[in-house]
Amino acid sequence: MKIKTGDTVVVISGNNKDKKGKVLSVIPKENRVVVENVNMLTKHEKPQGPNKPGGIVKMEGPINISKVMYFCEKCNKGTRVGFKVENGSKVRVCKKCGVELK
């Protein structure tokens, strides 16, 4: 996967266009990602005993991975991710500026 948990991405299409956030999780099977503060869903939870009073819970909904781009700090915008092999291991790089992505 080009996008990993913890990456900063920018949304490039849809209702959340231009929103930037951290990837909270990646769902490779569905080609979807969950991004911090993007695609917020409101969920009404029923009370489940004295310790869980219920109420309105806000949480991020997954969005298609094709709607996000890796946000390169150096380029200060969304860029494509490439790969290069260094010392026998594959590392991710920004296709624009070539900086190695952690």
The answer to whether residue 74 forms part of the interface with Zn ion (CB under 5 A) is yes
How near is the Cβ of 2 to Zn ion at its closest, in Å? 14
Q: Which of 1, 41, 59, 97 is in the footprint of Zn ion by CB under 5 A?
A: 97
Q: Which of 35, 38, 72, 93 is in the footprint of Zn ion by CB under 5 A?
A: 72
Q: How far apart are CA 9 and CA 21, in angstroms?
A: 6
Residue 38 neighbours by CB under 8 Å, 6+ apart: 11, 16, 19, 21, 60, 63
The answer to whether residue 94 forms part of the interface with Zn ion (CB under 5 A) is yes
